Amino acid sequence: MKILYVGDITGKPGRETAQAVLPDLIKKHSVDLVIAQGENVSHGKGLQVNHADELEQAGIQVFTGGNHSLMRLDALSQKANVIRPANLTEGTPGKGYTTVETSFGTVLVVSLQGQIVGRDADKEVLNPLTTIDQILEQHRGQKLAATIINFHGDYSSEKVVIGQYLDGKATAVIGDHWHVPTADAQVLPGGTAHISDVGMVGALDSSLGVETDIIVQRWKNAETKVRNEMEEGGRRQFNAVLIDVDTSTALARSIELIRQVIPA
């Protein structure tokens, strides 16, 4: 079974790039399931229903979430294939995991968030290790073709350790949030595919998707009040990982980083 996990789709440039790249990529690699990080899809903040619908037409079947997921609640509340981090406090809108049926069987997809995103610890984010233990226990005994866990976080220590913690318990643990792909894609000793960060889809000549000049102004003068704007020009990038799954064990045979740069 081939599963493609697509990095943070960021704003209109990200949507356009995903729509342009995915159909041929899915065909080329005979992809069976496409999962994508959706927290930055709509102007960098959350996911609108119409944008989810557009990306589904391009082949995406499940959208994971992160620290921006709650900024737009329509897709999260209306679509069963849109999830947000599971380790948020009780009463948070939406859900943290979903299952999807494929020709190979049921795939469990879980979204988690690191406890430190930005400069400070987030008190609204619960322990991801405890949360994933509970979710996996709930699905114990269920025949799953694969279990894909997304970990949205800042700290490399959290990203690396959760991969090792879940080695042998999940098919893949895929990190994101940095918008920059890391060079550590591997299958861990217990059979779990892992990468610290898969990167983003959108404007390459930018500051993680935002106009660079805005970030420079803010960096030079902390008092500057400038609103983030998505970079519309320049080159585009597409980053994803392709996971080859042995569905008899629900573990990974391989993981490959796929990166494309589209000229301006």
How does pLDDT run across 155-165, given as a tens digit for each residue?
Answer: 999 999 999 99
Q: What does pTM read for this prediction?
A: 0.95
Contacts of 240 (CB under 8 A, 6+ apart): 4, 5, 6, 7, 25, 198, 201, 257, 258
b/e per residue 23-54 (b: at least 16 CB within 10 A): eebbeeeebbbbbbbbbbbbbbbbbbbebbeb
Q: What stretches of 149-258 show up as alpha helix (H) in DSSP? A: 156-165, 212-220
- pLDDT for residue 263: 97
Q: Which helix (H) or strand (E) holds 28?
A: helix 11-29
Q: Does residue 119 have a pLDDT over 60?
A: no
Tally of domains within the chain:
1
Domain range for residue 255? 2-262
In the block, which residue shows the tokens 């990529």?
Answer: 25
The total number of residues written for the chain in this structure = 264
Least confident segment among 30-39, 156-165, 219-228, 235-244: 219-228
Candidate list 68, 152, 179, 194, residue with the active-site label: 68
- pLDDT for residue 223: 80
The CATH number for 179's domain is: 3.60.21.10
Q: Does residue 34 have a pLDDT over 70?
A: yes
157-176 average pLDDT score: 98
Phi-psi region of 191 (alpha: psi -120 to 50; beta: other; left: phi over 0): left
Mean pLDDT value across the chain: 95
Q: How confident is the model at residue 118 (pLDDT cuts 50, 70, 90)?
A: low
Residue 148 · residue 174 · CB < 8 Å? yes
Residue 68 is among the residues annotated as catalytic for this protein: yes
Q: Does residue 116 have a pLDDT over 90?
A: no
